[in-house]
Every structure is written in C-alpha cells, then in structure tokens.
Amino acid sequence: MTVQRKRAATIRDVAEAAQVSTATVSKFVNGNQRFTAAVEARISQAVRDLGYSLNPMARGMITGKTGNVGIIILDIRNPYFTNMVKGASRVAASSELNLIIADAAESTSPELGVLQSLCRRVDGLIVSSRLPAPVIKALLETGTPVVFYGRPSPYPQNHNVGCDNYAAALMLGRHLRELGHRRISYLGFSGARWSVDRGRALQDAFKGVDASFRMFDANAPSAEEGERLASTILLSQEMDDAIVTYNDLLAMGVLLEAKALGIRVPEQVSVAGFDNIAYGRLVSPALTTVDMMGEATGELAMRKLVGLIKGETVPLDDDTLQSRIVARESTRARKPRVND
Amino acid sequence: MTVQRKRAATIRDVAEAAQVSTATVSKFVNGNQRFTAAVEARISQAVRDLGYSLNPMARGMITGKTGNVGIIILDIRNPYFTNMVKGASRVAASSELNLIIADAAESTSPELGVLQSLCRRVDGLIVSSRLPAPVIKALLETGTPVVFYGRPSPYPQNHNVGCDNYAAALMLGRHLRELGHRRISYLGFSGARWSVDRGRALQDAFKGVDASFRMFDANAPSAEEGERLASTILLSQEMDDAIVTYNDLLAMGVLLEAKALGIRVPEQVSVAGFDNIAYGRLVSPALTTVDMMGEATGELAMRKLVGLIKGETVPLDDDTLQSRIVARESTRARKPRVND
DNA sequence: AGAACCTAGTTAAACGTTTACCTTGTTTCG
DNA sequence: CGAAACAAGGTAAACGTTTAACTAGGTTCT
C-alpha cells in the first residue's frame, strides 16, 4: 500500500481547459511570450481553477536543472555553520532555489556514493574543504558547480570563499602580543583544515619577540571538548598568558572549566576563540574572538554558486572576506607577576 | 551561455555496453531481481566503467517520489530548531532522503505559492504550526504527508509531535513554587503558538497559593530581545521572585541585562527558560530550563513522516515526548526579605 | 503592391527512467 | 513424461514538461 496523493493537474489538463496547446501553457507559466488578452485570460483562469503548479521533475528532465542547491556542512549545531546557512539560505530563496542540507557529521566522511547521488539532485554545491581529496576529485569530475568555503584553500583553481584564516589569526596574535602576552597555548582541532593556518599565524604574530607556544589538539570543535582539555592546559605547567582555541565553542568550554578550577579569566589568563558566534557575548567573561563572517560567507558563496549555475563568468579572485577582531572581556593586558 | 555539465551516462548507455535491455539494468540498480552471473558481471562492469548513477528526476516522474523531504522552521539560528534538524536529518539520511530546509523567517509568512512549489519537490513535510490557518489548509489539501511539531496542536486530526508545552510549563511552575516563589513574571513570545500554553500552565501551577503574575511579550525569541525587555521587567515594580521566559534565548538575555544592572541571579531573582539549548549550561549562572527534547522531536517527526511516505499506517497517538526539568544555578529558594 | 519581418500560437520529439506485460527456457512434480 | 510453475530477461508505453521548428495571419518597409 502506497500513500495516496491526489493526482495533480498537469499542463495538459490546463491546456485542454483553456483550449490551447501545452506549448502555449508552458510559455505562459514561464512568462516568456506575449499573449492575446483572451488567451491569457483563459489560461490563467484554468490554472487557477485546477490549482495547477508545474511538476519540477518533469521540467528538470528537459532543462537539466533541479531547482535545488546543496550545502555540505560539518555539524548543523555549530553556530558558525548555522550562520553560513542563514546567509546562503537567504540568497538561495531569492533565486528561487531550494536548499538541501547535508550534515556530514553523520558519516564522518560521506561515502562517495551518497555524494554522487546528492550531486544529481542539485544544480550546485557549497562544500566544506574538509572532504578527503579523492572525494573532492570525484565531485569536481561530475561537472557540478562547486563553491568551497574556507581560505586559504587547497583548491585554488576552484571557487573558495571565506575569511583568510591566516590573516585572522595574525590579527588575534597581534592583539595578544600588544597586551603583553608571551606564553601562549593554542588548542587546535586537526579535524579542520583551517586549524593549522590559525596556529601558524598565531606563532608568526610573535616573530621578533621571545614568546613560547604550546599546541594542543581537540577531538571535536565543541564546548564539551574545550572543558575536557582545559584542565590539562591550565594546570600542566606554569600558567599561560593566553589560551587561544580553534573556535568559540572550545573557548567557551575552557572558560567554564577555568571557572570550575577557580582560575580567573582574564585576570590570570586570557582566552580567545574564533568565529564570533552569538553566544560568546552572553557568557562571562564575554569572549574575545575574531569574527569570521559566517553569514556573509554563506551569502557570498551562494551568490557565486548561483552565478555559476546560470553560466555567468564568476571571477575567482573576489572571494576573501575581511575578518574583524572582537575584543571583549576575556582578554586583558598581562599583569606583571612575582617572578618577572 | 549556460553552464556546461558533462552529459552523464544514461541507463541506455549502460544497457548497450552490457548488451542487455534498459529494463534489466533498471531492475539491477534497484536490486529487485536475480541475474545470471554473466549478466550481473556485465552490468556492474558497465555501471562502473561509465560511472553511471541514475537520474532521480527521471525516476521521480514514474514513481512520483522526489527522494526529498522538507522541513519548515522559523529560524535556523535558534538552537532549538537546530537540534530538531539534527534529529530529523539523522533519520532522513538513514532512509536515503535528502533534507530541504526552508527558513520561514525570511518571509515571515511564506507565500502560498512558494509553499506549493516546495510541496512538489518533496515527498513529505515537517512543519511548524505557526503558519496561518489558510496556508495550512491549502497545504493539507495538496495531499502531501505532513507532520507538525509542537503540542498541544491546533491540528489534532493530523500528526503532531513534541513535548506537551502545558505539562512542561506546569513542571517548571511547580519547581518555582516549591522554591517559595510567589511573584512571577512571564516573558512570552506571542509569535509562537506555544507561548500561551506555557503562560497558562505557569499560572495554573500556583493554583491554591497566593501568587501574582505579570505577563510581558517579546517581539522575537532572541537574547537581544530578552536584554531589551529585562530592565522593564526587573525595574518596573518591586522585584519579582522569578522570571520565566518563553525560551532559553530570552532568558539568557535577561541574565545578561540583570548583570549589567547589578541585579544578582539567583540571589535576588530566579530566572528560567525553556528548551535546554546547549548554551544555557555555559552562561553564568547556568540556566535552569525545561528540556523540550528538540533532537528527539526531530527524530520522531521524521520517523513518522517516513512512515507516512511509505504508506504505513502511522498511529496518531504516540507522539508526545516527555519533557524534563533541568535545574541549574539560575533558580534558587527564595530568601525572606525585610518586608516579609 | 510585394517582400520581409513580426507575432501568437501549434506540432511533435525528446528528456531518462519504471513497470505491466510478454517470451523463452528451465525446473518441479504428480 | 507432460503440465504447471518459475526464473531471467525483453518490449514498449508512460510519466509531464520544454523547445526547435513550423504555420498563418498581420504589419512594416521600400
């Protein structure tokens, strides 16, 4: 037993009711021809009477377009991605494209088959650069328009949008340097390609001064994981001047655990993250971060994708957004210590 | 100039290469027949050689299925919905359905046209009950399987899943009552249908004791709006014992503004919300809330929808999830005051 | 006035599958 | 051993659009 959906009116039903050919109806609903008043009236009447709306699949067979775009994200619960999706969704809607969201977290690396099947259901794809190289290769070979997010990117010959991670981290590093910090821990997340860029830039920001670094690696970019690792970082040797994390979620976890341990932020240690998610402002101390322009990234990515789908020539080089440091309460100038 | 996508291999190409008919290939890829070893080998070889993957639109024309399901949410940035989507996404993926997300926030009430167009692109829909009644009516008339979320629901004859809002708020009300609170403010959000159920239950929880209530209404269920209204609530008369908000986001805004005003939570006033979003645990004081089971709701909703799509008989009455109070630091027993 | 061009509309093929209905050969069984 | 049942595979119609090519009548130009 299959579900019983009312048989919807087809273009033929409309054509018959309006006493014209299906071609005429087709042109009418696609709005690419002028009609005599009489014909126009008959068709639009028939459309209304029958509640006609065209079958996107039948159209798709001819035009080769699905009317859908896909976006592959790592975890829909991460507010950074949520912001991206928001931006992307807005421009997709304005282009009358539906947004298919594939949460890659389910299958850590989505099987090729699934991805290929997705490809056939969309006119274009926005993709995290985290996918394994062979998968990316197969994806590009399908000819599906793809925009990657995250810069710098390993796919320079393709479209990439986002803030420059190196530049962003450099900015944050300088901020901490100016505050007088010299002992820095970076809690990265090697599951994300951008993490190493951020770590490297952070170190580079301290070139010329005598600074020390420690690197840690999280298993997930989540607050829970930040909490779990915070005590290791906070208690493992003489205290850091500052802890920088791969993202705000990790930083918020660190903040929470620091509080549990009785370590005061920013008095004893500064903490900062990346992304500028909305919740960073609500915790205390309010989190210093770098705004990675999630929503604008999503918008730009989708705008480019729409361009590609329409076959416009989309330039490859206008796609780096400016990040912006958001200094709040969790970072502060280093106080001289007894052993200084 | 249109974008140039490689012409993908069709079932006919495969049939030719394998020297069988298209029907045979079709049966092969759909796995509903046995084959001789020779034929099977030839077909699977051809499929691999040509990189064949079937065209979902062509299939959809025949089967009437799109392979997509839609979910209409109010705002993808709200973590409650994000959790829902996560749950829904998981079961959709396991049923090999793609998830189309329509963020209704863009067009506050989505036009009927877009919705109808969406209907034709999906096999079923999960929908917020917030849509205007005529829209709902038109939606149901299309015959598209629909599952609503949020209970109690104005569509009892349809499928609805979620926690019982009345029961949940009753639970929270009793919690506050046991803590000795008697002067309560409720910051609702009339844009959401469930808000009134929560407000009513809250009052009912204090039946039999002498309690006073004030009601406020937010323009949006956001932290910013909570902040904006907090001072009005906090300073407008002698202080409340407790402030309950429509959701956690509003509560977190209230928390932030209270801090700015120098009002201490929970010492001077208790604050609680609904939803149990992940961030409530990270703010300080950690937020007391009621877990409305977003993820489980999403899972259940999608499970029901999948059942409906498959034509199974899905019972109407197994769809209320149990909510759960999460008492944290933002609520505390009322201290006697000087004028008591 | 005749040629050339529009304009409003029609015809029919094509898109890539699935599926009901055949066909043919093989097995089972009384 | 003959009939019935089954298994493996083929034939061709159908799904609901779009669109290239065409028609016929009207308008504009020279």
A and B: number of Cβ contacts within 8 A: 169
pTM of the complete model? 0.94
Q: Nearest CA of chain A to the CA of B74: how many Å?
A: 11
The yes-or-no verdict on residue B156 having pLDDT over 80 is no
Across the interface, which of B55, B56, B76 has its CB nearest the CB of A85? B76
Question: Which residues in chain B touch residue A4, judged by CB atoms under 8 angstroms apart?
Answer: 143, 311
Does A24 contact strand C, using a CB cutoff of 7 Å? yes
CB contacts of A121 in chain B (<8 Å) are 56, 67-68, 98
C-alpha B136/C-alpha A150 separation (Å) is 40
Interchain proximity B283–A278, CB inside 8 Å: no
Burial code (b: 16+ CB inside 10 Å, e: under 16) for A98-116 equals bbbbbbbbeeeebeeebbb
Give the pLDDT confidence of B24-79 residue by residue, as tens digits.
999 999 988 899 999 999 999 999 999 999 999 999 999 999 999 999 998 999 99
Cβ distance B234 to B253 under 8 Å?
A: no
A86–B76 CB contact, under 8 Å:
yes
Q: Is the peptide bond before A285 cis (omega within 30 degrees of 0)?
A: yes
Through-space separation of residue A10 CA and nucleotide D24 C1' in angstroms: 28
What is the C-alpha separation between B259 and B241, in angstroms, rounded?
16
- Please, which residues have CB within 8 angstroms of residue A128's CB and are 6 or more apart in sequence? A72, A73, A74, A104, A148, A149, A150
Distance B63 CA to D10 C1' (A): 21
pLDDT band at residue A112 under the 50/70/90 scheme = confident
pLDDT digits (tens, 9 = 90+) for B157-195: 889 999 999 999 999 999 999 999 999 999 999 988 899
pLDDT of residue B106: 54
Model confidence at B2: pLDDT above 60 = no
> How far does A41 lie from chain B, in Å, by closest CA?
19
**What nucleotides of chain D have any atom within 7 angstroms of a protein Cβ?**
7-21
Query: What pLDDT does residue B193 have?
Result: 85
Would you state the pLDDT for residue B104?
A: 84
**Residue B198, CA distances (Å) to A138, B145, B193, B246, B325 in order:** 51, 28, 10, 7, 14
pLDDT tens digits, one per residue of A129-159 = 778 888 888 899 899 999 998 877 777 788 9
Contact B76 A55 (CB under 8 A): no
Model confidence band, residue A2 (pLDDT cutoffs 50, 70, 90): very low
**Among B3, B54, B72, B310, which would you mutate to test the A interface (most chain A Cβ atoms within 10 Å of its Cβ)?**
B3
The answer on pLDDT for B114 being more than 90 is no
Which residues of chain B have a CB within 8 Å of the CB of A144? 5
pLDDT in tens, B70-112: 999 989 999 999 999 999 999 999 999 999 999 987 555 667 7
User: Nearest residue on chain A to B98, judged by CA atoms?
Assistant: A100
Percent of chain A at pLDDT above 90?
78
Query: A35 beta carbon < 7 A from strand C?
Result: yes
Select from B194, B241, B239, B236 the least CA-distant residue to B216. Answer: B236
- Residue lying closest to nucleotide C7, CA to C1': A34
